[in-house]
Amino acid sequence: MKKRFFSLSTSQIIMLSFLLTILVGSILLALPVSSATNEAVPYIDALFTATTSTCVTGLVTLTTASSWSTFGHIVILCLIQAGGLGIITILSGIMIILQKRMGLADRILLQDAFNLNSLSGLVKFVKRVFIGTFIVEITGALLYMIVFVPEFGAKGIWISLFTSVSAFCNAGIDIIGSNSLCNYATHPLINTVTALLIILGGLGYVVWWDLLRVTKNFKKQKLRCFQSLTLHSKLVLTATAVLILAGALFIFVFEFGNPLTIGNMSLFDKIQVSLFQSITTRTAGFASVPQENLSNGSAMVSLFLMFIGGSPVGTAGGVKTVTIVVLLASALATVRNRNEVTLFNRNLRKEAVSKAIAVTATSFATLFISTLLLCASTNANALNILFETVSATATVGLSRNLTPYLDTFGKLVITATMYLGRIGPISLAVAFTLRKENKNIISNPTEKISVG
């Protein structure tokens, strides 16, 4: 049995680890002790909640704060943390704590889980991931307590911890109430802490360590800090800044006079709410304004930002910022009739371009199929359906108030979409691809076709 398990590919193991976690979580949430009423919730809702927690999405069919007991909240938080860090990372961390030796197979599995390019320094990398995550989440919880403890008393400590973990893991699930963070839309501290946690989780651990490396040598490098970063970090930081600022600007313009969102707010509050909306669409899922009240223009901007998501090797979902940058650079190189794709005076490998195309294409395929299936099961507005499926595909968690009204088939569609969005459609395709040795040494003939 052990031999057969380890004969699985790394993609298959990662896929099955998430699936097993979801199933265990759904069973626990289906128990009466997990319900706030001590009566077991329908299994489909338990499965949906376990999936949205493990896949750090945030779409919910039941209000998290009032539908689940303390035990249920603990289960959900554990699933969020496991899903945010990754099941393989959690297991590797346990092995390190128990001082178990990590073999080559374990290292390769961990390398694939983090999508890293090298096997060197993996144990040190995992340790830094756990320490960094702990420091960030605890700091976030302590800052939240400044607001939540005076408001909720001792319960505010638990709410602060839950919200901090959920924000850093880009899950968007909270136990405050039924309207996410709408009651704190204009609260500077809640906005700032949540936004920073979302951004830190979305940047990715590789960027963290690169920024720390450059910071240590700040005195020597001075104005050359950005140039000293790796190409990956430059792409992530640049794309993140551009998307957040551009998204906030568009939302500010589209919502400026909308009385249902920011129309009646002060200029400062309009700016911070617009900025928060732009940040939370990067797969975080917290809402400071009802998403169904957004204008069509803002909804379309949100769809674009949601689909892109965060950055690789982090807690965010989506096709990732680097993927989109590589695609745009590749398109620009083609238009300019250049053979090499260049970014920041560095040529990209062809494999990076091919993978970017594959990731985007498979995500679009998942999005199209889930949208088509959801259209068949509900008569909701087309924009609301698309918002729901993009949110599920990119593991965002924002909804235009459609999730609670899904029928059983609709819940199953979104559940499957969230799962595919988290593990990645391309990983699923690779997992089910049988590797066969290619004995055909004769290549096929090449022929030109017309494109575009």
Tell me, yes or no, whether 439 lies in a domain.
no
pLDDT (tens digit, 9 = 90+) per residue, 306-325? 999 988 877 888 899 999 99
Neighbour tally for 272: CB within 10 Å:
22
In this predicted structure, the answer to whether residue 125 has a pLDDT above a threshold of 90 is: no
pLDDT (tens digit, 9 = 90+) per residue, 415-431? 999 999 888 755 655 55
pLDDT band at 106 (very low <50, low <70, confident <90, very high): low
Total number of domains constituting the chain: 1
pLDDT band at 2 (very low <50, low <70, confident <90, very high): very low
User: What CA–CA distance (Å, rounded) separates 359 from 187?
Assistant: 37
pLDDT band at 300 (very low <50, low <70, confident <90, very high): very high
Taking a C-beta distance cutoff of 8 angstroms, is the pair 359, 426 a contact?
Answer: yes
Tell me what pLDDT residue 423 has. 81
Torsion angle defined by CA atoms of residues 185, 132, 319 and 225, in that order, rounded to the nearest 10 degrees: 100
Tell me what pLDDT residue 119 has. 58
Tell me what pLDDT residue 4 has. 44
Domain containing 366: what range? 2-430
Tell me what pLDDT residue 5 has. 45
pLDDT (tens digit, 9 = 90+) per residue, 338-366? 888 888 888 888 888 888 898 899 899 99
Q: Mean pLDDT across the stretch 23-28?
A: 96
pLDDT band at 219 (very low <50, low <70, confident <90, very high): low
Q: What is the DSSP letter of 395?
A: T
Tell me what pLDDT residue 3 has. 46
Q: Mean pLDDT across the stretch 165-190?
A: 92
Q: What is the DSSP letter of 21?
A: H
Give the DSSP letter string of 285-342.
---SS-GGGS-HHHHHHHHHHHHH-S-TTSS--SS-HHHHHHHHHHHHHHHTT-SS-E
Tell me, yes or no, whether 141 lies in a domain.
yes
Tell me, yes or no, whether 444 lies in a domain.
no
Mean pLDDT lowest for which of 100-109, 135-144, 254-263, 354-363? Answer: 100-109
User: What CA–CA distance (Å, rounded) separates 70 from 148?
Assistant: 17
pLDDT band at 437 (very low <50, low <70, confident <90, very high): very low
Q: Mean pLDDT across the stretch 89-107?
A: 62
pLDDT (tens digit, 9 = 90+) per residue, 55-94? 989 899 999 999 999 999 999 999 999 888 876 667 666 6
Task: Work out the burial of residue 115: count CB atoms within 10 Å of its CB; fewer than 13 is exposed, 13-18 middle, 19 or more buried.
Answer: middle
Q: How far is CA 395 from CA 53, 200, 398, 423, in A?
A: 10, 17, 9, 10
Tell me what pLDDT residue 388 has. 95
Tell me, yes or no, whether 134 lies in a domain.
yes
Tell me what pLDDT residue 6 has. 47
In this predicted structure, the answer to whether residue 229 has a pLDDT above a threshold of 90 is: no
Tell me what pLDDT residue 84 has. 84
More confident residue, 282 or 199: 199
User: What CA–CA distance (Å, rounded) separates 347 from 329?
Assistant: 10
In this predicted structure, the answer to whether residue 95 has a pLDDT above a threshold of 70 is: no
More confident residue, 436 or 76: 76
pLDDT (tens digit, 9 = 90+) per residue, 258-267? 999 999 999 9
Tell me what pLDDT residue 149 has. 96
272 Cβ neighbours under 8 A, 6+ residues apart: 186, 188, 191
pLDDT band at 12 (very low <50, low <70, confident <90, very high): confident
Mean pLDDT estimate for the chain: 86
Q: How far is CA 47 from CA 29, 41, 366, 389, in A?
A: 8, 10, 20, 18
pLDDT band at 120 (very low <50, low <70, confident <90, very high): low
More confident residue, 429 or 305: 305
Orientation angle between helical segments 321-335 and 350-377, nearest 10 degrees: 110
CA count, 13 A, side-chain hemisphere, 163: 31
Residue owning tokens 């008569």:
379
Percent of the chain with pLDDT over 90: 56
Q: Mean pLDDT across the stretch 195-207?
A: 90
Q: Mean pLDDT across the stretch 24-29?
A: 96
Ramachandran assignment for 237, one of left (phi > 0), alpha (psi -120 to 50 degrees), beta (any other):
alpha
What letters, b where the CB count within 10 A reaches 16 and e where it falls short, cover 124-152? ebbeebbeebeebbebbbebbbebbeeee
Give the DSSP letter string of 70-85.
HHHHHHHHHHHHHHHH
Tell me what pLDDT residue 121 has. 64
Nearest by Cα to 209 from 184, 233, 234: 233
Mean pLDDT lowest for which of 63-67, 156-160, 212-216, 240-244? Answer: 212-216
Taking a C-beta distance cutoff of 8 angstroms, is the pair 377, 409 a contact?
Answer: yes
More confident residue, 6 or 405: 405
- How many degrees, rounded to 5, is the angle at CA 235 between CA 389 and CA 419? 25
Q: Mean pLDDT across the stretch 131-149?
A: 95
pLDDT band at 270 (very low <50, low <70, confident <90, very high): very high
